[in-house]
A and B are shown apart, each in its own frame.
Chain A
């Protein structure tokens, strides 16, 4: 059993598991942090961005000034943003049989895999994962395609040139594999390969293994996966949460008794408690708005935003913010808000019960109805007519490199009355802000990551007790910035196996058993014999038939009647050689009785010696030794076959035959 690790990002995993002749890809996350190296794509012409000076080498050589621009001491690539794909060279991805998706954030690389690697298998995911995943991809494609950029920089990627660049460009890894965003056509084609599954649904893969999605409590439709055969169980835990937010709670019980537990997608900010962060978010929002400033919340169009809107729904009246407009701007804003209301079966119990009242499960419906929350596909069109300040704007993309957020950063960045509040933990906020410097607006970092923290992981592992834990290497040591925080790493026994990008791990357990079925007519013919209470044995003569990883014992074919014909037999019709087997023996030889029997049969001068494993019966006269051990008996006599057979028969009297 092997694990091929194609991504180094612990929360955007992409691993391939080879297990019992199947090849299963676990998630295909897309690392978008690469986009932080690029200049933002402004929706509206930005004189500031277009007038940034080109970057030149220390010696004044300016051959890169078309590709690289300088802003407040940082250098950015002036090109269409590109993404860092999972490894494609480590394993032939056309051999992947299935892809299991755990949540909508972990499927963003799907079109790259399904459309460009010769992949012919099936993708499994829950319905909300697919629908919201589609929205995220649609938004991404839209953000990038609506700001066409003629230029595509590639010169800087040359290894010799890259070495000369300042950090972080110099240290960017695998830049040659960075790719531009996919198209909507590719998205549609990739999504058409997905087969929808429900929680706890058992899916057979070629008869060899069974895969089952389990609720992971992190997002709408998010799943952990069980991959098991009859005797082995691998659990894949990716992006799980034990907090009470909107999704169905995490199913922990089904993860018990795993041989291997692959653990990914823990919280990215283990020191920030989501509840505290929500409090911080609300306080800062209110403070800014009360002072007449605007609040910008760069966010994804689905996920935490639902919880934030719910918190605000409860908070705005008490904080006296009822008259402040909330805007949600995304090409998929409408669909996202509506989708969230229709996936009732995937929601937590409280929200499910609301549906029966009937009430919308999320209170943002009421915010929309009362006009407190308004949503728009983009800043163009209706929004510009309705726009009123001070206000709160939720919009993408959290990287601040594309999407409507770029416009608001340019618009509000100059006033210290305004605040940008980062709630998504995927991007380092200082890096995200780098191309907007110098910036007067206030920045608040309240990363809300509801995924498991290390305390919760430690409890979970104690509860489900897997034999082995496999996780990204980042989880096996404290974060570099807090190297003394031994509580910020996975602590389990035996220690977790870690992996890094482009590594292949041999998982530490061997398959020992295989399940074999017996055909009813063959079973009928068996005559079990009880050798000790509760244990019966029978000999079986059969043909082992193996197809689609299923093993069946069938009755042996009857000996072929001699046909007399001269037709040449085909090889497949060959009847296996069924030799007459000697009966199997069982039981033990009571030494005292055996000696008595020997004496009865005329042997005298018998000596018995005890050995570590049994006894030696010495027939001194006959110069013969009978060595009796737990699982073997040897008669050692000197070329006297008659004597040996006699003695053998005496031994056999004490044993059962079948």
Chain B
């Protein structure tokens, strides 16, 4: 331990032991415990106690004192646990202190026990110290296990849960010694402590009180989840009949916990030895109500090895609700066993019809479970894609009221589900997930028609619309390409023609969330399809691009931000140009650049400005035609605007843009050929392509060559960088009050310096007055006076300054968290003492 800490420790212990000086802040005690854990992990606890006798004194004092606060008592119990975790230290403390702290003579029997914090401290203390067989003897001697049993039903959930965990830990510890290496030992061989715990679990499983059953099941769930000894197999053999007996009760008690336990056992090593488990799982599936059985079925289907029959049964449970819906809504009786053998089970139908909440709950769970299952490699095969598509579409139609079921059940389902947003959202999510698989033509047509219905319906809420947009996008992107043609297939084109007027209307919605989702959808669609002739044609024939541009003036900042992204994307693909003048695509885009610059300079909200920076970075990276005309001027203007921005993310994005520019001038980071300055013509096409989105706008790569930067030496590149005032921007960012900005800038400058070093730097100017003045200015900036500009910098001066700044040191400092000074244990002790006025001279104020 740090000598300074050792020096402070007695005073601190005195403070802690003094009830007149209450410790105001709980987090200090937690930090103190963390520190002691670190110290004891690094060295001997015994030595620590011997060198700092004040610690043991504190523990003794706590035992004697009557009026200590519960938090100090709890702290002391946990502290003792930390020390006693090492066996030699345990022996040292065992004589008197530990039995008194954890036995009946301690807080256990006193008034302090009423405080949950003390009970929790007692449990945590025991949990920490129970690391060696000697601890088991202490537990037996002080009757701790019985106390833990009673704490399982504690009024504080934290205490009750911790008690369960502790039981598992003790059981594991007890079984680890003697039973290790032996397979399924007989109960009579088990240590007394383990016997006791297992008997308690048995009693609880037989109890008629559901809370006790729940406790036992939870403990067992933890056992099978965390303990991997072979003894767990023996334990299951012993307890499984009791667990199976729970299924005979109606209703099955603690069904959630039972499901958790069975899944936990199924994931453990038990199945390899006990095939009866599969039978229990099968029985459970058939005994539980449809709502309760869902999570179990999903769990079973996620298992790696599981009998096929059980998987089929589990899948049937998941499909039941949808099978019922399909059956109820069918116009004519369909073929039996529509969903892989699952026909409408009367119990599921009852659940669906008994109340709105039950119906909604069951359907949402079924849809969510199947949605989770869909992408998994172990999902059931054959996967009933077509019926599932039909079911999702039917659910959506029932919710929108457009279904016309003829059956009674269908009519009642329709009345329950109509307008239900929760089911709509779940079904749309599910439908989106199903887009990963193909489907028969007829089903896909239905999918697109129901999606269009939702997108058109004025009754769709903003959240439902968002989901509908997301599902539509997934289906559109998964639609097959026409063989032998790279363009969209005719069906998709037809859909697009219907979709765009809807999107147009949604972009005019008075609800900003709807406008925002519409724009996001447009952005995504353009990102993927900007090059498809069919899409371009349909989009340019609509009002959508014009409306999108108008939304740059939206009163809602989120919408403006989305509009910025969308217009940026449209412009990248040349889709903002008026269709009347395709030969002059630049005309409108230019004005967009000016408009976006205006947003960057004038928008009062951060989101649109951040979006502009992202668009600009992308434009620069992709060589957007408008940028490529004069990249130098573009970068200069953007950096100038970004440097003044109050939002750190905008400034950080400015550095990102600067980095892209640097990459284009000097070659990307990690380039092995730095000397031949990697002006874009010579840039490795692979490297540049990597930076581009998968579907980059055609022809932009060629335009991406910034003609303003002629091939040449590093000096020329530096000249360019100086002209765009990139250094002023980077140096300012280096001393930015927001750490991420400073870090990014540091990285950028380091990259630049490394490049320069590899290429041979331009003429040094280390002693020129220019350098001195720059350094002086930078020092002032570092001190917080950022008013003064740097003025024009010579490349030579820049390099000299770069070398003179300790960038590595700065990077390391920045890598430290901002409270690294205050986090030291010494600081912690000082603060605690200062808080109660013991250390008058310490003026540190961490909080």
Contact = CB atoms under 8 A, between A and B. Distances in A.
Nearest to B543: A291
A487 B504 contact: no
B550 interface: yes
B555 A484 contact: no
B530 interface: no
B406 interface: yes
Given A277-B458, A446-B458, A485-B415, A318 B508 contact: no
Contact of B459 (A273, A278, A287, A314): A273
**Interface SS, B side:** loop
Given A282-B510, A287-B504, A485-B415, A317 B555 contact: yes
A91 interface: no
B229 interface: no
Interface string A420-454: 00000000000000000000000000100000000
Interface in A283-321: 283-284, 286-287, 290-291, 311, 314-315, 317-320
Nearest to A488: B415
A51 interface: no
Interface in A306-339: 311, 314-315, 317-320
A290 B401 CA distance: 32
B554 interface: yes
A45 interface: no
A318 B547 CA distance: 13
Residue among B411, B459, B510, B554 with max Cβ neighbours from chain A (10 Å):
B510
A279 B511 contact: yes
B406 A484 contact: yes
Nearest to B405: A484
Contacts of A276: 458-460
Contact of B508 (A271, A317, A319): A319
A651 interface: no
A272 interface: yes
B505 interface: yes
Nearest to B462: A279
A482 B411 CA distance: 10
Contacts of A284: 505, 508
Contacts of A537: none
B414 A286 contact: no
Nearest to A491: B415
B579 to A, nearest CB: 15
The interface centre, meaning the residue of B415, B460, B550, B556 with most chain A CB atoms within 10 A of its CB, is B415
A289 to B, nearest CB: 9
Nearest to A321: B508
B404 interface: yes
B522 to A, nearest CB: 16
B547 A290 contact: yes
B412 interface: yes
A278 B509 CA distance: 10
Q: Looking at B411, B412, B458, which has the most chain A CB atoms within 10 Å of its CB? A: B458
B91 interface: no
A282 B508 CA distance: 8
A485 B412 CA distance: 8
Given A485-B414, A485-B415, A290 B508 contact: yes
B556 A318 contact: yes
B410 interface: yes
B543 A484 contact: no
Residue picked from B404, B508, B554, most chain A C-beta under 10 Å: B508
Nearest to A277: B458
Interface string B343-367: 0000000000000000000000000
Given A273-B459, A317-B555, A485-B401, A286 B508 contact: yes
Nearest to A311: B510
B29 to A, nearest CB: 51
Nearest to A286: B508
B506 interface: yes
Contacts of B591: none
Interface string B551-578: 0011110000000000000000000000
Interface in B474-518: 504-506, 508-511, 514
Contacts of A278: 510
A486 interface: yes
A280 interface: yes
Contacts of A280: 458
A287 B550 CA distance: 12
Given A486-B411, A486-B415, A487-B414, A279 B406 contact: no
Contacts of A311: 510
Contacts of A290: 508, 543, 546-547, 550
Contacts of B414: 484-487
A282 B418 CA distance: 25
Nearest to B416: A487
Contacts of A484: 404-406, 410-411, 414
A598 B201 CA distance: 76
Contact of A487 (B418, B506, B556): B418
A482 B404 CA distance: 8
A428 B303 CA distance: 58
Given A485-B418, A487-B414, A272 B458 contact: yes
B553 A271 contact: no
Given A291-B543, A485-B414, A315 B510 contact: yes
B412 A272 contact: no
B514 to A, nearest CB: 8
Contacts of A485: 401, 411, 414-415, 418
Contacts of B508: 282-284, 286-287, 290, 319
12 contacts: A271-B459, A277-B458, A282-B510, A286-B508, A287-B504, A290-B508, A314-B510, A318-B556, A319-B508, A446-B458, A485-B415, A485-B418
Interface of A: 271-273, 276-280, 282-284, 286-287, 290-291, 311, 314-315, 317-320, 446, 482, 484-487
Given A485-B415, A486-B411, 13 more contacts: A272-B459, A276-B460, A279-B458, A280-B458, A282-B509, A286-B508, A290-B543, A290-B546, A319-B510, A320-B553, A482-B401, A485-B411, A487-B415
Closest 8 CB pairs of A and B: A487-B415, A280-B458, A286-B508, A276-B458, A318-B555, A282-B510, A283-B508, A484-B411
